[in-house]
Amino acid sequence: MNTKQIGFIGGGNMASSLIGGLVSNGYPADKLTVVDLDSEKLSYLNQTFGVNTLQDSKELATKADVLVLAIKPQHMQSVAQDLGQAIQDKSPVVVSIAAGIRVEALDRWLGGHVPIVRCMPNTPALVKTGATGLYANAQVTENQKDLVESLLRAVGVTVWVEEEHELDAVTALSGSGPAYFFMIMEALEAAGIKAGLSQKTAQLLTQETALGAAKMALESSEPASVLRQRVTSPGGTTERAIGILEEQGLRDILQAALLGAKERSIELSDELGNN
């Protein structure tokens, strides 16, 4: 992989995170190039990571072996159509991290028969603890899949899905998921304050408890249900709290929220891919 040229169109937070992860893992900075209309972003990325910068997307498309489209979904069609001929000439594997843009639409905008990997990363990628779902179309080779997986693993774990529609569920679970946990953390912190703790203490205990629970789940071979049961002593404080959460329908609420997010992901894909 270290001989491949990787290009980024868009130098925002996610691109910056991927670049930082690659460089910290030893990927040669001179094999990374970024295009962005914002010269300040380009200057920052060049000075921070030593990567190459350009302001011409077409020029980058003629050089890259892997081309990452790290732009907003509403801009994808115009950018892709502008790059179409260059992509057809060079035939890099195109990696899209834009939510809601289906492979069929992107392939059509790029001129057809383009190797495309669609990714759904999440914001913890910014601190190298991301979770990314990936889907490849039939034009992507096994070597290209390995390349893209190595790229995304620089900022966390990766999971391939067999069918593109599964990315709607990935979006609902891990893509939107950090917001669910932040909201739970908000609520726990507020409850801690109401129970008599200072804001600073409630916040610290909430954050460390969330981190510790996640770390235990990651390092254990047991499912979350078993870990929960081990913390829940009969007749104890945790059992009473869990009973109240069950009575209030926490599971049903979370399921409804996730399915609602999935439905909205499908709607957005329909809206964005109709042109």
Binding residues: 9-14, 70-73
Distance of CA 153 to the CA centre of its chain: 11
Closest among 271, 76, 261, 92 to 167, alpha carbons compared: 261
> Tokens for 71?
């732009």
Closest among 16, 12, 17, 204 to 127, alpha carbons compared: 17
**Residue 251 CA: distances (Å) to CA of 162, 256, 257:** 27, 9, 10
What are the φ/ψ torsions at residue 116 (nearest 5 degrees)? -130, 135
Residues in the chain: 275
Contact 118, 167 (CB under 8 A): yes
- Rounded to whole angstroms, the Cα distance separating 38 from 44 reads 10
Contact 114, 87 (CB under 8 A): yes
Closest among 43, 44, 50 to 22, alpha carbons compared: 50
CA dihedral 50, 54, 55, 56 (to 10 degrees): -160
Distance of CA 14 to the CA centre of its chain: 8
Closest among 134, 133, 209 to 177, alpha carbons compared: 133
Binding residues for NADP(+): 9-14, 70-73
